[in-house]
Amino acid sequence: MNQNQFDCRISEEDVQMLRALAHPLRLRLVMELMQRGTCNVTQLQEVLEIPQSTVSQHLTKLKQNKVVRFERRGLEVYYQIHNDKVSEVVKILFS
């Protein structure tokens, strides 16, 4: 089956979202945010038991690909899931 026979229209934004979710650590970050709602880097670092710099690096990638969004509260930055597609994809993966 070639590209013309299989007319699948998926946006570039969705492709980038899926690529971002393909990394196991980023998937774990997303799952934690789904369970907790909103977290800062320190909270995620403690739960996942990984260095703060690693959490920040992966959150940046997720933010760039519109998987998560952030909200500044004073000196802290809190992250949460950006759209419902992300939650649906993760639910399908683990159902």
Q: Encode pLDDT of 29-84 as tens digits.
A: 999 999 999 999 999 999 999 999 999 999 999 999 999 999 999 999 999 999 89
Cβ contacts of 61 within 8 Å, gap of 6 or more: 20, 23, 26
Q: How many CB atoms lie within 10 A of CB 47?
A: 15
Q: What's the pLDDT band for 5 if we cut at 50, 70, 90?
A: low
Q: How many CB atoms lie within 10 A of CB 19?
A: 13
User: What is the model's pLDDT at position 7?
Assistant: 59
Residue range 12-93, CATH number: 1.10.10.10
Rounded Cα distance, 63 and 10, in Å: 20
Rounded Cα distance, 32 and 7, in Å: 35
pTM for the complete prediction?
0.85
User: What is the model's pLDDT at position 9?
Assistant: 83
